[in-house]
Amino acid sequence: MKRRDNVQKITHLMVNYPGGALAQAFVLEAVRQYADQVLAAGKPEDDPRSWINPQVWYNTAAMISESLQTMEADQ
């Protein structure tokens, strides 16, 4: 079986998983909650030894949170 990339994994969970619409809601809620947790922890200090820059991770959480809020407001 060919290895799936991240987009394919999420698409599989949201489209092909037996949970249907509930699976989609679960994935979106998980992303929203994790973004909120990252933001609630506050903006981190820079750590040059970190494999993933903590400030970029925080900024990504902020962008995702804002995007989800904007999409929700547009409905």
Q: Span 1-5, mean pLDDT?
A: 89
Half-sphere exposure of 1 (CA within 13 A, CB side): 3
1 occurs within a structural domain: no
The pLDDT of residue 34 is 98
Within 10 Å of residue 43's Cβ, how many Cβ atoms?
Answer: 11
Q: What percentage of residues in the chain have a pLDDT greater than 90?
A: 71
Grouping H, G, I as helix, E, B as strand and the rest as coil, residue 65 is helix
The pLDDT of residue 3 is 93
The pLDDT of residue 62 is 98
Range of the structural domain that residue 29 is part of: 6-74
Tens-digit pLDDT profile for residues 21-34: 898 999 999 999 99
Tens-digit pLDDT profile for residues 31-56: 999 999 999 999 999 998 999 999 99
How many whole angstroms separate alpha carbon 19 and alpha carbon 47?
40
Count structural domains, the chain. Answer: 1
